[in-house]
Amino acid sequence: MNTIEAIQSRRAIKQYDATHPMPQEVERQLLELAMLSPTAFNIQNWRFVIVKDMEVRKQIRAVSWDQAQVTDASILVVLCADLSSWEQNPARYWRNAPEPVQNFLVPAIAQYYSGKPQVQRDEAMRSCGMAGQTLMLAAKELGYDSCPMDGFDYDAVGKILSLPSDHVISFMIAIGKKTQDSWPRPGQLAYNEVVLENGF
């Protein structure tokens, strides 16, 4: 399957084969691909919590409107972001770049993020969004389906996962083998309503 086919065929799937275990090598490949997603200043602020313990997944399902994919999918990925990643030895994010690039970009990281909690949070959400889409398209390529989820109690899931105070949850993705196709796309907006040229 090529990228265009993956984009066209990806749907939010709700029903999964609860008996299908994802091979460890496939799981690792998915996450390594997601880790190639872009982040501002290359700070790689996403953190992927793979929830495997079924008792923990049942707890998450209980605060996720009892959605079956939380427990039935092969893996549940909670996409989080470290809001303080920008100040954690930022030179490491550019260690392989030419020295002039390092000298310019490393100090710029603090200038961009320091004292700006809204910028830190906005970048976290953008980073997780891009990583999540990479994860879902990679899953499709590897023969899996997925479901992005924001229908859950964020504070409750944070407590279940012992989320650090300087981290935020962006959304979750269930990934597995579907047992039922999704219905046809329910209503795409017209191209001209969505695509604008040179402004509104």
The CATH number covering residue 146 comes to 3.40.109.10
Structural domain for 44, as ranges: 3-194
- In a domain, residue 199? The reply is no
Residue 200 lies in a domain: no
| Structural domain includes residue 97 | yes
What pLDDT score does 183 carry? Answer: 87
56: part of which helix (H) or strand (E)?
helix 54-62
Query: What 3-state DSSP class applies to 117?
Result: helix
Whole-number Cα distances in Å, 71 to 55, 62, 93, 142, 148: 9, 10, 35, 21, 14
Contact 91, 101 (CB under 8 A): no
Mean pLDDT by 10 residues, the chain (200 residues): 91 97 98 98 98 97 98 98 97 97 97 97 98 98 97 98 98 97 91 96
Q: Is residue 133 part of a domain?
A: yes
Indicate the number of domains in the chain: 1
Cα dihedral 173, 65, 167, 49 in deg (nearest 10): -40
Q: What is the pTM of this model?
A: 0.95
